[in-house]
Every structure is written in structure tokens, then in C-alpha cells.
Structure 1
């Protein structure tokens, strides 16, 4: 099967592979933007830094959770005077006798449109939920880390598997480089998720999160660009290539 390579794939298969890669490419860009607007704002400044990762997973042990959020990713969700009022109340221990007469209405006006309608985040209609986020910021909870970790591992692994499967049909890529590019995203994905748990224990491990994210981003970008180039640019030279997997098997036997 001399067509079993990216340049010489039948047009329907090229359309299938290209459609998947385009959607995944846009999805990964949106994921990066979402990270910048959530974790990237943990320290109140746009752009992902070591402090953002520390605040997200280890926490800012000098502030309450709600104060960190109001000075970070939730910075634009309420007027300055309202934020200061909530922060002061939280620092005083969020006394319950001030909830019903005043702060319940404040949260209803500025917060419950999200924190009351979106599953999985604290419900600010209830004092008990507000009290929890008014405590010292210890970062992500173990329950949240477990939930996000298994979703991340299962979901991203499927993305990398199908991207690597398409890339495995590439030609003119040394076997060692192709193998490394296919394996790297999975290795860095494990490092990324593991780093969340390590950072929860000790903030110095936050650098591993950055290394993991950069590592699988570089590897997946290389596979994406190579695959699209070979299907639509390299294929125009009219050359017929041999079976990509067969060539790799012969290279591995040498």
C-alpha cells in the first residue's frame, strides 16, 4: 500500500485528518486562552507565571480564598468599594450576623449570576459555601485536584493519541525523532498533572507545571504542523512515497 503515508493519502482521508487537526488546533488555542484568563490571573496580572501556579494549587496562605480571587481572576466582577467591603468582612472571619442583613444582598447582586447557577463552583446563595471561601487560601482542594486530574488525563490523552496516530503516517522524519515526538506529549502530560499534586505539597514544584505544559505544547505543535504540511504542501510534488510504517519498521531493524 504505497498510499499509506500523509502525502499520498486518498483525498477523503486527508479531509478527515485535516478536519480533526483543525478542530483540535483551535481547541488547544482556546484552552491556552482559558488558562491565561483563569490560572493566569491568580496573581492579578495577565500572563502565566510561577506565582499563578503556586496560588492556584498551593494557595496564598497570607490571604483568604475570596480575597485572592477578588484580586486575581475575579478582579473585574465587582466595583472596587464592594471588593474592599467583602475582603474586610472575610478578614474578620466572615461573621454570620452580618450575612442576612447585608452581605447576602451584596453577593446576590454581584456574584450569584455565576455562583448560584453554574454546577461545580461554590453557591453564594448559601452562607456555608461563602464561609468556606472566606477561609485562608490553601489552593485547590484534594477533591478538586482528583476531579480535574482524571478528566485532564483521560481527555487530553485521547487528543494526543489521535494526533500521534495521524503523525505516524509522516514520511522523511527520522525514526528516533518520530518516536520521540509521539511519546513526549504523554510523558509531559503525566508530569503536568503530577506537578499539581507536588505543588499542593510544596510551592517549589510549580516550575514542573510550566515545563510540562511547554513540553507537550511543543511536541503537539510539531506533529500538527508536520502532518498538515505533508498532506497539503509536500503532496504537491507528485512524488510517490512508500508505506510510512513499513519504512519505520525497516529503519528499526537496522
Structure 2
């Protein structure tokens, strides 16, 4: 094997100094746990949009295009919010909504019902409707047209900024991997960003036409698989491959020539 200058020989995951390995692995472990929690949260929100466990095309359609056979409030009460109140209160609200959610019944009865079961979140958490006010309840008691443009804009920029940072650092750590062909390493680093963009654009396309919902599943699955592969390779090379004592060349040697 060609000799590597001493000042560059450590530039790969197996040969990294222990403090750097601790830094990289700590980040990867925290991010890995965070992504698992994000997946669980998706299953409990979007995954229950159709009232059934598990993420399906119908869940994507209902979340972004809406269930236009009924109101947003009714679809939530039959889906992700189904367990937030008693069955009797849920059916009572649904009947009121289907009757046009008349304001005359709000002060007499439904204001107290929403206060008991809903206002602890829908009244204190920013960014979601305030169910202590009839006007806010009335907005979601109309036909369910899915996510609003305001919601899509907010979610899009949060995901693009936040998840891009995650993929940047995961890709940066993976770029130190040894023995990976250059074309494969470049592809693995680029793929999560490409699928992230597909995922975000699919929300807007599904809002316009429900037939694009499958792009959301492809985008999310694509960047999850690519990031997972980089995660496992990085952890493997830092803590298992490095134990065999083999000295690898600079991870970027071919690019530095």
C-alpha cells in the first residue's frame, strides 16, 4: 500500500482520534434517536389521518389534499384526535358539525365541551386553532381541504432548514468513510437532499392533486434509507472496523491528488 503522510493518515473514520470519534458518534446517536421519534410522531399524526394505524396513501391525501367529503374537525375526531375525548363527546361534536355548527348552540353547550377536552392544547399551543373561540372552531368545521397554504409554507421552510442541517452533518461524517468508491460516496451524500426536495414539493403537488401523494412516500422513504445507510457505515467504521489495526489511506486522497 502506498505510504500516507503522517499528517493525513488519520483522515478516515477508522483512524480518527478518539475525541473526534466520541464527537461524531454522540451526534449520530442523538440524531438517530431524534429521527426515530420523528417517525413515531408521524405515525401518530399523519399516520392516523384516515383513522387507521400505519402510514398509507390515504393518510397523505387526507393530510394535504383533505377529506373533502367532510370537515377538518370531523376527520381529526375520527383520526388522530379520536382518543382525546369520550366517544359521547366526540359524536356530539360531529353531529353539531354536520348540522352546520350553529353559533346558537356554542354558548349553550359546545363551548364547555371544547374547554373540557380541547382547550388545554387548542388554546395554549401557538400555531394551532384556538378552540376557546367560536370563530376558530367554525373554520375547521367547514369542508376539509387539507393543509392550508400557510401551514404548508411554515412546514416547508422548517423541514428544509432543519433536515438539511441533519443531512449535512451526517454526510460530512460519512465523507470520512474509508474504502467506499468515490461515485458511491457522492451518491449517498447527495441522495438525501434530492429526496428531501421531492418530499417537500410533493406536499404542494398533493394539495393540488391527490394523485401525487405517492411522491411523499417515495421522498420520505428515500432519504430515510440513504441517511440510515450512512449512519450505520459511519458507526461501523469508527468502532468495529478500526479494531482490526489496518491503516487506511486518507478518505479524500483521490480528490486531493
Distance 1:167 1:111 in 2: 45
Deviations 1:185-217 (A, max 9, x none): 000000000000000000000000000000000
In structure 2, the residue corresponding to 1:216 is in which secondary structure? helix
2:238 corresponds to which residue? 231
Q: Which runs of 4+ in 1 moved over 2 A?
A: 247-250
The Cα of 1:230 is off from its aligned counterpart by: 0.2
Is 1:52 paired with 2:59? yes
Deviations 1:12-34 (A, max 9, x none): 00000000000000000000000
Is 1:204 paired with 2:205? no
Distance 1:78 1:26 in 2: 30
1:136 corresponds to which residue? 143
Unpaired segments of 5 or more residues in structure 2?
1-7
2:3 corresponds to which residue? none
Unpaired segments of 5 or more residues in structure 1?
none
Distance 1:104 1:3 in 2: 66
2:70 corresponds to which residue? 63
2:42 corresponds to which residue? 35
Match of 2:252 among 242, 245, 248: 245
1:184 corresponds to which residue? 191
Distance 2:117 2:198 in 1: 38
- For residues 56-135 of structure 1, what are the structure 2 equivalents within 5 Å? 56-135=63-142
The Cα of 1:247 is off from its aligned counterpart by: 3.1
The Cα of 1:174 is off from its aligned counterpart by: 1.1
